[in-house]
Structure 1
Amino acid sequence: MGTAAMLRAAGVGLGDEVVVPAFGNVEVAEAVAMAGALPVFADIDPSTYCLDPAAVEAAVTARTAAVVVVHRFGRLADIARLHAVGQRHGLLVLEQGESEAPYDEIAQRRERAAYLDMKLRGVRTPDDGDGHTYQQYVVRVPGNGRPDRDAFARAVRAKGVGCRVPVKTPVHRLPEFRHCVSLPETERAADETLALPVDASLTKRDMQRIVSACNALGGLLQPAF
Protein backbone atom coordinates (compact mmCIF):
# COMPACT_ATOMS: atom_id res chain seq x y z
CA MET A 1 0.00 0.00 0.00
CA GLY A 2 1.39 3.40 -0.98
CA THR A 3 1.73 6.41 1.29
CA ALA A 4 -1.35 8.18 -0.08
CA ALA A 5 -3.47 5.06 0.42
CA MET A 6 -2.16 4.56 3.97
CA LEU A 7 -2.96 8.15 4.85
CA ARG A 8 -6.47 7.88 3.43
CA ALA A 9 -7.02 4.56 5.22
CA ALA A 10 -6.11 6.27 8.49
CA GLY A 11 -8.64 9.02 7.84
CA VAL A 12 -6.11 11.69 6.87
CA GLY A 13 -7.43 14.02 4.20
CA LEU A 14 -8.86 17.43 3.40
CA GLY A 15 -8.01 20.04 6.03
CA ASP A 16 -5.27 17.95 7.62
CA GLU A 17 -1.54 18.67 7.66
CA VAL A 18 1.18 16.06 7.33
CA VAL A 19 4.78 16.81 8.34
CA VAL A 20 7.31 15.64 5.74
CA PRO A 21 10.97 16.28 4.87
CA ALA A 22 11.89 18.72 2.10
CA PHE A 23 15.29 17.08 1.66
CA GLY A 24 14.64 14.25 -0.75
CA ASN A 25 12.31 13.22 -3.52
CA VAL A 26 9.06 15.00 -4.28
CA GLU A 27 7.02 11.77 -4.15
CA VAL A 28 6.33 12.02 -0.41
CA ALA A 29 4.80 15.49 -0.68
CA GLU A 30 2.89 14.38 -3.78
CA ALA A 31 1.45 11.42 -1.86
CA VAL A 32 0.25 13.73 0.91
CA ALA A 33 -1.41 15.98 -1.66
CA MET A 34 -3.01 12.95 -3.35
CA ALA A 35 -4.56 12.06 0.00
CA GLY A 36 -6.08 15.54 0.09
CA ALA A 37 -3.89 16.82 2.93
CA LEU A 38 -1.33 19.64 3.05
CA PRO A 39 2.39 18.76 3.26
CA VAL A 40 4.21 20.79 5.92
CA PHE A 41 7.99 20.74 5.69
CA ALA A 42 10.26 20.25 8.70
CA ASP A 43 14.04 20.46 8.89
CA ILE A 44 16.45 17.53 8.99
CA ASP A 45 19.10 16.29 11.37
CA PRO A 46 22.42 17.21 9.70
CA SER A 47 23.95 13.84 10.59
CA THR A 48 21.20 11.48 9.43
CA TYR A 49 19.61 13.67 6.71
CA CYS A 50 16.28 12.47 8.11
CA LEU A 51 13.60 14.47 9.91
CA ASP A 52 14.80 16.15 13.10
CA PRO A 53 12.36 15.24 15.91
CA ALA A 54 12.62 18.72 17.45
CA ALA A 55 11.85 20.34 14.09
CA VAL A 56 8.88 18.02 13.61
CA GLU A 57 7.49 18.95 17.01
CA ALA A 58 7.91 22.64 16.22
CA ALA A 59 5.92 22.15 12.99
CA VAL A 60 2.93 20.53 14.71
CA THR A 61 -0.30 22.55 14.73
CA ALA A 62 -3.89 21.81 15.67
CA ARG A 63 -4.41 20.52 12.11
CA THR A 64 -1.45 18.13 12.04
CA ALA A 65 -2.61 14.55 11.57
CA ALA A 66 0.51 12.62 10.57
CA VAL A 67 4.25 12.53 10.03
CA VAL A 68 5.96 10.72 7.16
CA VAL A 69 9.50 9.70 8.09
CA VAL A 70 11.93 8.84 5.29
CA HIS A 71 15.08 6.87 6.09
CA ARG A 72 17.73 8.43 3.88
CA PHE A 73 20.84 7.03 2.13
CA GLY A 74 20.74 3.82 4.18
CA ARG A 75 20.82 5.67 7.52
CA LEU A 76 17.87 5.31 9.88
CA ALA A 77 16.01 8.28 11.29
CA ASP A 78 15.71 8.69 15.06
CA ILE A 79 12.48 6.76 14.93
CA ALA A 80 12.07 6.33 18.70
CA ARG A 81 12.04 10.10 19.26
CA LEU A 82 9.80 10.65 16.24
CA HIS A 83 7.29 8.11 17.52
CA ALA A 84 7.44 9.85 20.90
CA VAL A 85 6.49 13.13 19.19
CA GLY A 86 3.64 11.32 17.49
CA GLN A 87 2.40 9.88 20.77
CA ARG A 88 2.50 13.25 22.52
CA HIS A 89 0.37 14.85 19.83
CA GLY A 90 -1.77 11.91 18.75
CA LEU A 91 -0.23 11.70 15.27
CA LEU A 92 0.05 8.86 12.80
CA VAL A 93 3.74 8.16 12.08
CA LEU A 94 4.53 6.43 8.78
CA GLU A 95 7.97 5.26 7.71
CA GLN A 96 9.46 5.06 4.25
CA GLY A 97 12.82 3.55 3.40
CA GLU A 98 14.94 2.83 0.39
CA SER A 99 14.93 -0.66 -1.08
CA GLU A 100 17.42 -2.85 0.72
CA ALA A 101 20.26 -4.54 -1.10
CA PRO A 102 21.15 -8.20 -0.40
CA TYR A 103 23.14 -8.77 2.79
CA ASP A 104 26.35 -9.62 0.93
CA GLU A 105 26.14 -6.39 -1.05
CA ILE A 106 25.51 -4.35 2.09
CA ALA A 107 28.60 -5.89 3.69
CA GLN A 108 30.68 -4.91 0.68
CA ARG A 109 29.26 -1.38 0.69
CA ARG A 110 30.18 -1.04 4.35
CA GLU A 111 33.69 -2.27 3.60
CA ARG A 112 34.13 0.34 0.86
CA ALA A 113 32.61 3.05 3.05
CA ALA A 114 35.07 2.20 5.83
CA TYR A 115 37.94 2.52 3.36
CA LEU A 116 36.74 5.97 2.26
CA ASP A 117 36.22 7.02 5.89
CA MET A 118 39.85 6.19 6.58
CA LYS A 119 41.40 7.63 3.42
CA LEU A 120 39.43 10.72 2.40
CA ARG A 121 40.76 14.16 3.31
CA GLY A 122 39.19 17.56 2.83
CA VAL A 123 35.56 16.41 2.87
CA ARG A 124 33.29 15.52 5.76
CA THR A 125 32.55 11.82 5.63
CA PRO A 126 29.16 10.45 6.79
CA ASP A 127 28.50 9.43 10.38
CA ASP A 128 28.29 5.65 10.30
CA GLY A 129 25.41 5.32 12.76
CA ASP A 130 23.74 2.09 13.82
CA GLY A 131 22.89 -0.15 10.90
CA HIS A 132 24.00 2.21 8.12
CA THR A 133 23.73 0.30 4.83
CA TYR A 134 25.29 3.01 2.62
CA GLN A 135 22.69 3.00 -0.12
CA GLN A 136 24.55 6.20 -0.89
CA TYR A 137 27.88 7.36 0.55
CA VAL A 138 27.20 11.06 1.07
CA VAL A 139 29.99 13.49 1.94
CA ARG A 140 29.91 17.23 2.56
CA VAL A 141 32.21 19.48 0.58
CA PRO A 142 33.46 22.39 2.70
CA GLY A 143 33.73 25.90 1.35
CA ASN A 144 31.23 28.34 -0.08
CA GLY A 145 28.27 26.00 -0.40
CA ARG A 146 26.84 25.03 -3.78
CA PRO A 147 29.46 26.72 -6.02
CA ASP A 148 32.35 24.92 -4.32
CA ARG A 149 30.47 21.62 -4.13
CA ASP A 150 29.62 21.81 -7.83
CA ALA A 151 33.20 22.69 -8.75
CA PHE A 152 34.48 19.80 -6.64
CA ALA A 153 32.02 17.45 -8.38
CA ARG A 154 33.15 18.65 -11.79
CA ALA A 155 36.78 18.03 -10.87
CA VAL A 156 36.33 14.48 -9.59
CA ARG A 157 34.10 13.57 -12.55
CA ALA A 158 36.90 14.71 -14.84
CA LYS A 159 39.09 12.12 -13.10
CA GLY A 160 36.61 9.34 -13.85
CA VAL A 161 34.67 9.25 -10.57
CA GLY A 162 30.92 8.94 -11.03
CA CYS A 163 29.71 11.17 -8.22
CA ARG A 164 26.25 12.73 -8.08
CA VAL A 165 24.37 15.43 -6.20
CA PRO A 166 21.82 13.49 -4.12
CA VAL A 167 19.24 16.29 -3.74
CA LYS A 168 19.51 19.09 -6.27
CA THR A 169 16.48 21.11 -5.13
CA PRO A 170 14.68 20.72 -1.79
CA VAL A 171 10.98 20.07 -2.25
CA HIS A 172 9.91 23.32 -0.57
CA ARG A 173 11.75 25.17 -3.37
CA LEU A 174 9.88 23.41 -6.18
CA PRO A 175 7.15 25.51 -7.86
CA GLU A 176 4.31 23.13 -6.99
CA PHE A 177 5.23 23.02 -3.29
CA ARG A 178 6.94 26.35 -2.77
CA HIS A 179 6.72 27.47 0.85
CA CYS A 180 8.36 30.36 2.68
CA VAL A 181 9.77 28.32 5.55
CA SER A 182 13.14 28.35 7.29
CA LEU A 183 14.92 25.01 6.85
CA PRO A 184 18.60 25.87 7.33
CA GLU A 185 19.91 22.31 7.64
CA THR A 186 17.95 21.23 4.57
CA GLU A 187 19.33 24.14 2.55
CA ARG A 188 22.87 23.52 3.78
CA ALA A 189 22.70 19.82 2.96
CA ALA A 190 21.34 20.51 -0.53
CA ASP A 191 24.24 22.92 -1.15
CA GLU A 192 27.08 20.82 0.31
CA THR A 193 26.35 17.12 -0.19
CA LEU A 194 27.80 14.83 -2.83
CA ALA A 195 27.31 11.07 -3.21
CA LEU A 196 30.43 9.05 -3.99
CA PRO A 197 30.25 5.49 -5.34
CA VAL A 198 30.56 2.53 -2.95
CA ASP A 199 29.01 -0.11 -5.20
CA ALA A 200 29.90 -3.72 -4.54
CA SER A 201 31.31 -3.98 -8.07
CA LEU A 202 34.08 -1.44 -7.40
CA THR A 203 37.62 -2.79 -7.34
CA LYS A 204 40.46 -1.73 -5.07
CA ARG A 205 41.86 0.32 -7.94
CA ASP A 206 38.48 2.04 -8.35
CA MET A 207 38.47 2.95 -4.66
CA GLN A 208 42.00 4.30 -4.88
CA ARG A 209 40.96 6.43 -7.86
CA ILE A 210 38.08 7.91 -5.84
CA VAL A 211 40.40 8.79 -2.96
CA SER A 212 43.07 10.24 -5.24
CA ALA A 213 40.56 12.37 -7.15
CA CYS A 214 38.88 13.72 -4.02
CA ASN A 215 42.05 14.35 -2.05
CA ALA A 216 43.65 16.24 -4.92
CA LEU A 217 40.96 18.96 -4.64
CA GLY A 218 42.11 20.41 -7.94
CA GLY A 219 40.49 21.90 -11.02
CA LEU A 220 37.64 23.57 -9.17
CA LEU A 221 36.73 26.04 -11.89
CA GLN A 222 33.46 25.14 -13.60
CA PRO A 223 30.01 24.39 -12.17
CA ALA A 224 28.78 20.83 -12.22
CA PHE A 225 25.61 19.83 -14.03
Structure 2
Amino acid sequence: MTLPFFPPDLFDDERDVLLETVFRIGTAPAQRFILGERTAAFEQALRLQLGAADVMACGSGTAALTLVLGAMGVGPGDEVVVPAFGCAPLASSVVSVGATPVFADVHPWTMVVEPYEVEAAISARTAAIMPAHMFSVMADMPTMRALADRHCVRLVEDSAVAQGGTLAGVPAGRWGDAGVFSFVQVKTFGTAGEGGAVVTDDPELGRLVRMLRNHGQDGRDRFVHHVIGHNSRFDEVLADFQLHRLPGLAGRLRRRAEIADYYTERFAPLVERGVQPPPPGRDGRCFYVYSLLADRRDDLKRHLTTRGVGSHVYYPAPLPAQPAFARYAKPGQYWPHAELASARTLALPIYPHLTDAQVEHIADAVCDFPGGPR
Protein backbone atom coordinates (compact mmCIF):
# COMPACT_ATOMS: atom_id res chain seq x y z
CA MET A 1 0.00 0.00 0.00
CA THR A 2 1.36 3.40 -1.03
CA LEU A 3 -0.46 6.46 0.22
CA PRO A 4 0.91 9.82 -0.99
CA PHE A 5 0.56 12.88 1.19
CA PHE A 6 -0.62 14.96 -1.77
CA PRO A 7 -3.11 12.71 -3.61
CA PRO A 8 -3.10 13.03 -7.42
CA ASP A 9 -6.74 11.95 -7.69
CA LEU A 10 -8.63 14.58 -5.69
CA PHE A 11 -10.97 15.39 -8.57
CA ASP A 12 -11.11 12.05 -10.38
CA ASP A 13 -14.80 11.58 -9.61
CA GLU A 14 -15.56 15.05 -10.99
CA ARG A 15 -13.41 14.99 -14.13
CA ASP A 16 -16.41 14.83 -16.47
CA VAL A 17 -18.10 17.70 -14.63
CA LEU A 18 -14.97 19.84 -14.94
CA LEU A 19 -14.57 19.09 -18.65
CA GLU A 20 -18.23 19.91 -19.28
CA THR A 21 -17.85 23.15 -17.34
CA VAL A 22 -14.82 24.20 -19.37
CA PHE A 23 -16.66 23.46 -22.62
CA ARG A 24 -19.87 25.21 -21.59
CA ILE A 25 -18.21 28.41 -20.41
CA GLY A 26 -15.59 28.34 -23.16
CA THR A 27 -18.25 28.16 -25.90
CA ALA A 28 -20.79 30.52 -24.35
CA PRO A 29 -21.63 33.54 -26.55
CA ALA A 30 -20.51 36.01 -23.88
CA GLN A 31 -16.96 34.60 -23.83
CA ARG A 32 -16.67 35.83 -20.24
CA PHE A 33 -13.86 34.01 -18.42
CA ILE A 34 -13.33 36.22 -15.36
CA LEU A 35 -15.61 38.03 -12.89
CA GLY A 36 -18.80 37.03 -14.68
CA GLU A 37 -22.16 35.69 -13.60
CA ARG A 38 -20.73 32.43 -12.25
CA THR A 39 -18.33 34.32 -9.97
CA ALA A 40 -21.23 36.48 -8.76
CA ALA A 41 -23.30 33.35 -8.08
CA PHE A 42 -20.42 31.73 -6.22
CA GLU A 43 -19.95 34.83 -4.06
CA GLN A 44 -23.66 34.87 -3.30
CA ALA A 45 -23.62 31.18 -2.33
CA LEU A 46 -20.79 31.81 0.12
CA ARG A 47 -22.55 34.88 1.52
CA LEU A 48 -25.63 32.82 2.25
CA GLN A 49 -23.66 29.93 3.73
CA LEU A 50 -21.64 32.21 6.04
CA GLY A 51 -24.28 34.80 6.84
CA ALA A 52 -21.89 37.51 5.68
CA ALA A 53 -22.71 40.87 4.16
CA ASP A 54 -20.17 40.52 1.38
CA VAL A 55 -17.83 37.99 -0.21
CA MET A 56 -15.30 38.90 -2.90
CA ALA A 57 -13.64 36.08 -4.83
CA CYS A 58 -10.08 36.74 -5.94
CA GLY A 59 -6.99 35.08 -7.34
CA SER A 60 -5.64 33.33 -4.22
CA GLY A 61 -5.63 33.30 -0.45
CA THR A 62 -2.39 35.26 -0.54
CA ALA A 63 -4.00 37.90 -2.71
CA ALA A 64 -6.97 38.01 -0.34
CA LEU A 65 -4.71 38.98 2.57
CA THR A 66 -2.97 41.64 0.49
CA LEU A 67 -6.27 43.06 -0.77
CA VAL A 68 -7.69 43.26 2.76
CA LEU A 69 -4.65 45.04 4.16
CA GLY A 70 -4.64 47.44 1.22
CA ALA A 71 -8.36 48.14 1.61
CA MET A 72 -7.80 48.85 5.30
CA GLY A 73 -5.21 51.47 4.37
CA VAL A 74 -2.37 49.58 6.03
CA GLY A 75 0.92 50.80 4.60
CA PRO A 76 4.36 52.33 5.24
CA GLY A 77 4.93 53.17 8.89
CA ASP A 78 2.36 50.64 10.08
CA GLU A 79 2.95 47.34 11.86
CA VAL A 80 0.89 44.16 11.64
CA VAL A 81 1.26 41.46 14.30
CA VAL A 82 1.46 38.00 12.72
CA PRO A 83 2.34 34.50 13.96
CA ALA A 84 6.01 33.56 13.94
CA PHE A 85 5.08 30.09 12.67
CA GLY A 86 3.04 29.65 9.54
CA CYS A 87 2.81 30.19 5.82
CA ALA A 88 4.92 32.87 4.12
CA PRO A 89 1.91 35.01 3.02
CA LEU A 90 1.29 35.92 6.65
CA ALA A 91 4.39 38.09 6.42
CA SER A 92 4.71 38.71 2.68
CA SER A 93 1.24 40.23 2.41
CA VAL A 94 2.21 42.76 5.08
CA VAL A 95 5.46 43.59 3.33
CA SER A 96 3.62 43.86 0.00
CA VAL A 97 1.60 46.83 1.24
CA GLY A 98 4.72 48.51 2.65
CA ALA A 99 4.06 47.71 6.31
CA THR A 100 6.21 45.83 8.82
CA PRO A 101 5.39 42.36 10.13
CA VAL A 102 5.88 41.91 13.87
CA PHE A 103 6.17 38.27 14.89
CA ALA A 104 4.41 36.74 17.90
CA ASP A 105 5.16 33.28 19.26
CA VAL A 106 2.73 30.38 19.13
CA HIS A 107 1.29 27.84 21.55
CA PRO A 108 3.64 24.86 21.92
CA TRP A 109 0.89 22.28 21.35
CA THR A 110 -1.73 23.86 19.07
CA MET A 111 0.82 25.93 17.10
CA VAL A 112 -1.63 28.84 16.79
CA VAL A 113 -0.50 32.29 17.87
CA GLU A 114 -0.71 33.04 21.60
CA PRO A 115 -3.01 35.97 22.51
CA TYR A 116 -0.66 37.23 25.24
CA GLU A 117 2.22 37.25 22.73
CA VAL A 118 0.07 39.22 20.31
CA GLU A 119 -0.81 41.76 22.97
CA ALA A 120 2.83 42.12 23.98
CA ALA A 121 3.71 42.87 20.34
CA ILE A 122 1.12 45.64 19.90
CA SER A 123 2.64 49.12 19.76
CA ALA A 124 1.59 52.63 18.84
CA ARG A 125 2.35 51.74 15.21
CA THR A 126 0.16 48.63 15.12
CA ALA A 127 -2.56 48.91 12.49
CA ALA A 128 -3.81 45.34 12.60
CA ILE A 129 -3.39 41.93 14.16
CA MET A 130 -3.57 38.91 11.88
CA PRO A 131 -3.98 35.57 13.67
CA ALA A 132 -4.04 32.43 11.54
CA HIS A 133 -5.77 29.13 12.03
CA MET A 134 -3.16 26.40 11.88
CA PHE A 135 -3.45 22.81 10.64
CA SER A 136 -6.49 21.48 12.53
CA VAL A 137 -6.86 24.12 15.25
CA MET A 138 -8.51 27.52 15.02
CA ALA A 139 -6.92 30.46 16.79
CA ASP A 140 -8.52 31.88 19.94
CA MET A 141 -10.68 34.33 18.02
CA PRO A 142 -12.88 35.55 20.91
CA THR A 143 -9.74 36.74 22.70
CA MET A 144 -8.30 38.16 19.46
CA ARG A 145 -11.54 40.07 18.87
CA ALA A 146 -11.37 41.49 22.39
CA LEU A 147 -7.71 42.42 21.90
CA ALA A 148 -8.42 44.24 18.66
CA ASP A 149 -11.31 46.15 20.21
CA ARG A 150 -9.34 47.07 23.32
CA HIS A 151 -6.37 48.38 21.36
CA CYS A 152 -8.43 49.92 18.52
CA VAL A 153 -6.69 47.97 15.77
CA ARG A 154 -8.11 46.02 12.83
CA LEU A 155 -8.55 42.26 13.06
CA VAL A 156 -7.76 40.21 9.93
CA GLU A 157 -8.65 36.53 10.29
CA ASP A 158 -6.43 34.30 8.17
CA SER A 159 -8.87 31.44 7.79
CA ALA A 160 -7.27 30.19 4.57
CA VAL A 161 -7.00 26.64 5.95
CA ALA A 162 -10.21 26.61 7.97
CA GLN A 163 -13.21 26.92 5.67
CA GLY A 164 -16.02 24.92 7.21
CA GLY A 165 -14.64 25.14 10.73
CA THR A 166 -16.65 26.74 13.54
CA LEU A 167 -15.69 28.09 16.95
CA ALA A 168 -18.42 28.67 19.55
CA GLY A 169 -20.94 28.43 16.72
CA VAL A 170 -19.27 31.12 14.62
CA PRO A 171 -17.84 30.06 11.23
CA ALA A 172 -14.17 30.53 10.48
CA GLY A 173 -13.69 33.78 8.60
CA ARG A 174 -16.46 35.61 10.49
CA TRP A 175 -14.59 36.76 13.61
CA GLY A 176 -12.50 39.55 12.12
CA ASP A 177 -13.17 42.84 10.35
CA ALA A 178 -12.42 40.59 7.40
CA GLY A 179 -11.57 36.94 6.90
CA VAL A 180 -9.96 35.16 3.99
CA PHE A 181 -10.21 31.72 2.39
CA SER A 182 -7.97 29.84 -0.02
CA PHE A 183 -9.23 27.46 -2.68
CA VAL A 184 -5.89 26.04 -3.73
CA GLN A 185 -6.16 22.34 -4.55
CA VAL A 186 -5.29 20.80 -1.17
CA LYS A 187 -7.40 23.10 1.05
CA THR A 188 -10.65 21.89 2.61
CA PHE A 189 -12.57 23.56 -0.23
CA GLY A 190 -9.81 23.30 -2.78
CA THR A 191 -10.41 23.58 -6.50
CA ALA A 192 -8.68 22.55 -9.71
CA GLY A 193 -6.43 25.60 -9.64
CA GLU A 194 -5.93 28.76 -7.57
CA GLY A 195 -8.45 31.01 -5.91
CA GLY A 196 -9.37 32.83 -2.74
CA ALA A 197 -12.03 34.99 -1.16
CA VAL A 198 -12.46 37.87 1.26
CA VAL A 199 -15.39 37.81 3.72
CA THR A 200 -16.59 40.94 5.52
CA ASP A 201 -19.60 42.75 6.96
CA ASP A 202 -17.98 46.15 6.28
CA PRO A 203 -19.50 47.59 3.07
CA GLU A 204 -16.68 50.08 2.52
CA LEU A 205 -14.06 47.37 2.94
CA GLY A 206 -15.95 45.21 0.45
CA ARG A 207 -16.15 48.06 -2.06
CA LEU A 208 -12.43 48.73 -1.86
CA VAL A 209 -11.49 45.04 -2.14
CA ARG A 210 -13.62 44.79 -5.30
CA MET A 211 -11.76 47.72 -6.83
CA LEU A 212 -8.33 46.54 -5.75
CA ARG A 213 -8.80 43.05 -7.21
CA ASN A 214 -9.55 44.55 -10.67
CA HIS A 215 -6.86 47.17 -11.31
CA GLY A 216 -8.65 49.79 -9.22
CA GLN A 217 -11.78 49.86 -11.40
CA ASP A 218 -15.17 50.15 -9.72
CA GLY A 219 -17.08 48.03 -12.26
CA ARG A 220 -19.06 50.91 -13.75
CA ASP A 221 -16.60 52.47 -16.19
CA ARG A 222 -13.93 50.31 -17.74
CA PHE A 223 -10.44 51.78 -17.92
CA VAL A 224 -11.25 54.30 -15.17
CA HIS A 225 -8.82 53.45 -12.38
CA HIS A 226 -9.68 55.04 -9.06
CA VAL A 227 -6.82 53.51 -7.07
CA ILE A 228 -3.69 51.51 -7.79
CA GLY A 229 -4.99 47.96 -7.87
CA HIS A 230 -4.03 44.41 -8.70
CA ASN A 231 -4.95 41.72 -11.18
CA SER A 232 -6.64 39.26 -8.83
CA ARG A 233 -9.81 38.35 -10.67
CA PHE A 234 -11.64 35.06 -10.17
CA ASP A 235 -12.00 32.48 -12.94
CA GLU A 236 -15.51 31.70 -14.25
CA VAL A 237 -14.72 28.02 -14.86
CA LEU A 238 -13.52 27.57 -11.29
CA ALA A 239 -16.46 29.54 -9.91
CA ASP A 240 -18.88 27.17 -11.65
CA PHE A 241 -16.88 24.14 -10.54
CA GLN A 242 -16.90 25.34 -6.92
CA LEU A 243 -20.66 25.91 -7.07
CA HIS A 244 -20.96 22.27 -8.13
CA ARG A 245 -18.72 21.14 -5.26
CA LEU A 246 -20.17 23.34 -2.50
CA PRO A 247 -23.08 21.03 -1.53
CA GLY A 248 -20.62 18.19 -0.88
CA LEU A 249 -18.30 20.26 1.32
CA ALA A 250 -20.04 19.38 4.60
CA GLY A 251 -19.73 15.65 3.89
CA ARG A 252 -16.06 15.94 3.01
CA LEU A 253 -15.44 17.90 6.19
CA ARG A 254 -17.23 15.25 8.26
CA ARG A 255 -15.01 12.57 6.77
CA ARG A 256 -11.89 14.59 7.57
CA ALA A 257 -13.11 15.01 11.15
CA GLU A 258 -13.80 11.29 11.47
CA ILE A 259 -10.29 10.46 10.30
CA ALA A 260 -8.82 13.00 12.71
CA ASP A 261 -10.82 11.61 15.63
CA TYR A 262 -9.57 8.11 14.87
CA TYR A 263 -5.96 9.25 14.57
CA THR A 264 -6.11 11.18 17.83
CA GLU A 265 -7.59 8.24 19.72
CA ARG A 266 -4.94 5.90 18.34
CA PHE A 267 -2.05 8.29 18.96
CA ALA A 268 -2.95 9.52 22.45
CA PRO A 269 -0.87 6.77 24.15
CA LEU A 270 2.21 7.73 22.12
CA VAL A 271 2.94 10.90 24.09
CA GLU A 272 5.26 9.02 26.41
CA ARG A 273 7.19 7.94 23.31
CA GLY A 274 7.64 11.50 22.10
CA VAL A 275 4.79 11.60 19.57
CA GLN A 276 1.95 13.98 20.38
CA PRO A 277 -1.34 14.30 18.46
CA PRO A 278 -3.24 17.59 18.31
CA PRO A 279 -5.88 18.32 20.95
CA PRO A 280 -9.07 16.24 20.65
CA GLY A 281 -12.52 17.64 19.99
CA ARG A 282 -14.55 19.21 17.21
CA ASP A 283 -15.21 22.81 18.35
CA GLY A 284 -12.65 25.18 16.89
CA ARG A 285 -11.27 22.50 14.57
CA CYS A 286 -10.87 22.56 10.81
CA PHE A 287 -8.92 19.38 9.85
CA TYR A 288 -7.16 20.82 6.82
CA VAL A 289 -3.94 19.13 7.90
CA TYR A 290 -3.46 16.57 10.64
CA SER A 291 -0.07 17.31 12.14
CA LEU A 292 1.77 15.40 14.85
CA LEU A 293 4.55 16.74 17.04
CA ALA A 294 7.40 14.23 17.16
CA ASP A 295 10.67 14.48 19.06
CA ARG A 296 12.30 12.36 16.34
CA ARG A 297 10.38 13.88 13.47
CA ASP A 298 12.81 13.03 10.68
CA ASP A 299 13.13 9.45 11.89
CA LEU A 300 9.35 9.13 11.99
CA LYS A 301 9.11 10.51 8.46
CA ARG A 302 11.63 7.92 7.21
CA HIS A 303 9.81 5.16 9.08
CA LEU A 304 6.50 6.10 7.45
CA THR A 305 8.12 6.11 4.03
CA THR A 306 9.21 2.50 4.51
CA ARG A 307 5.56 1.68 5.29
CA GLY A 308 4.30 3.40 2.15
CA VAL A 309 2.84 6.42 3.97
CA GLY A 310 3.56 9.90 2.65
CA SER A 311 4.03 12.73 5.11
CA HIS A 312 4.95 16.40 4.89
CA VAL A 313 6.78 19.02 6.95
CA TYR A 314 4.96 22.34 7.37
CA TYR A 315 7.11 24.56 7.95
CA PRO A 316 10.82 23.76 8.35
CA ALA A 317 11.71 27.21 9.73
CA PRO A 318 9.82 29.97 11.57
CA LEU A 319 9.00 33.03 9.52
CA PRO A 320 11.58 35.28 11.26
CA ALA A 321 14.27 32.73 10.32
CA GLN A 322 13.37 32.83 6.62
CA PRO A 323 15.83 34.86 4.51
CA ALA A 324 12.99 36.97 3.09
CA PHE A 325 11.83 38.12 6.54
CA ALA A 326 14.98 38.01 8.66
CA ARG A 327 15.41 41.78 8.47
CA TYR A 328 12.10 42.20 10.33
CA ALA A 329 13.26 40.10 13.27
CA LYS A 330 14.37 42.31 16.13
CA PRO A 331 17.89 41.59 17.41
CA GLY A 332 17.90 39.36 20.45
CA GLN A 333 14.28 38.32 20.03
CA TYR A 334 13.41 34.62 20.02
CA TRP A 335 10.32 32.59 19.27
CA PRO A 336 11.09 29.31 21.06
CA HIS A 337 7.75 27.62 20.48
CA ALA A 338 7.78 28.47 16.77
CA GLU A 339 11.30 27.07 16.52
CA LEU A 340 10.25 23.91 18.35
CA ALA A 341 7.23 23.48 16.07
CA SER A 342 9.43 23.75 13.00
CA ALA A 343 11.64 20.98 14.37
CA ARG A 344 8.82 18.63 15.46
CA THR A 345 5.77 18.95 13.22
CA LEU A 346 4.88 16.23 10.72
CA ALA A 347 1.62 16.07 8.77
CA LEU A 348 -0.20 12.86 7.84
CA PRO A 349 -2.68 12.19 5.00
CA ILE A 350 -6.24 13.18 5.90
CA TYR A 351 -7.96 13.67 2.54
CA PRO A 352 -11.60 12.61 2.61
CA HIS A 353 -11.49 9.77 0.08
CA LEU A 354 -9.12 7.70 2.22
CA THR A 355 -10.78 4.36 3.00
CA ASP A 356 -11.10 3.01 6.53
CA ALA A 357 -8.45 0.40 5.70
CA GLN A 358 -6.05 3.08 4.49
CA VAL A 359 -6.62 5.20 7.59
CA GLU A 360 -5.99 2.19 9.78
CA HIS A 361 -2.78 1.43 7.87
CA ILE A 362 -1.52 4.98 8.43
CA ALA A 363 -2.33 4.80 12.13
CA ASP A 364 -0.69 1.40 12.46
CA ALA A 365 2.46 2.72 10.80
CA VAL A 366 2.69 5.63 13.26
CA CYS A 367 1.99 3.38 16.26
CA ASP A 368 4.72 0.97 15.13
CA PHE A 369 7.33 3.73 15.35
CA PRO A 370 9.51 2.95 18.39
CA GLY A 371 9.85 6.58 19.41
CA GLY A 372 12.07 7.38 22.35
CA PRO A 373 14.83 9.99 22.74
CA ARG A 374 16.87 11.37 19.87
Asked if these proteins are the same fold (TM beyond 0.5), I'd say: yes
Residue 257 (structure 2) aligns with: 110
- What CA distance in whole angstroms lies between the structure 2 residues aligned with 1:115 and 1:14? 47
Q: How does 1:71-220 map to 2 (within 5 A)?
A: 71-97=133-159, 98=161, 99=182, 100-101=188-189, 102-120=249-267, 121-122=269-270, 123-129=275-281, 130-142=283-295, 148-178=296-326, 179=329, 180=331, 181-218=333-370
Deviation of residue 170 (structure 1)?
1.4
Question: What is the Cα deviation at residue 79 of structure 1?
Answer: 0.6
State percent identity of aligned pairs: 37
Aligned to 2:87: 25
* AA aligned opposite 2:299: A
SS of 2:354's equivalent in the other structure is coil
One-letter amino acid of the counterpart of residue 92, structure 1: R
SS in 2 for 1:176: coil
Q: Which runs of 5+ in 1 are unaligned?
A: 143-147, 221-225
Distance in 1, matches of 2:311 and 2:318, equals 19
Q: Which residue of 1 aligns with 2:221?
A: none
Q: 1:128-160: per-residue Cα shift (whole Å, max 9, x none)? A: 341412111111113xxxxx2111111111111
Per-residue deviation, residues 66-92 of structure 1 (Å, max 9, x unmatched) = 111211124211011111111121111
The residue that corresponds to 2:185 in the other structure is none
Paired residues of 1:155 and 1:218 also in contact (CA < 8 A):
no
CA offset at residue 46 of structure 1? Answer: 2.7
Report the Cα distance in structure 2 between the residues aligned to 1:138 and 1:95, rounded to whole angstroms.
21
Q: What is the CA distance between 1:191 and its match in structure 2?
A: 0.9
Match of 1:53 in 2: 115
Cα-to-partner distance string for 1:147-181 (whole Å, 9 max, x where unaligned): x2111111111111111112112111111211242
Deviation at 1:218, TM superposition (A): 4.8
Structure with bigger gyration radius: 2
**CA distances 1:35-87 after superposition (whole Å, capped 9, x unpaired):** 11000100112343221110000111121111112111242110111111111
Partner in structure 1 of residue 50 of structure 2: none
Q: TM-score, normalised by structure 1?
A: 0.89
Q: Aligned residue for 2:48?
A: none
Residue-pair matches, total: 215
Aligned with 1:166: secondary structure? coil
* Structure 1 contact 19–59 (Cα < 8 Å) conserved: yes
Q: Secondary structure at the match of 1:175?
A: coil
State the TM-score, normalizing by the size of structure 2: 0.55
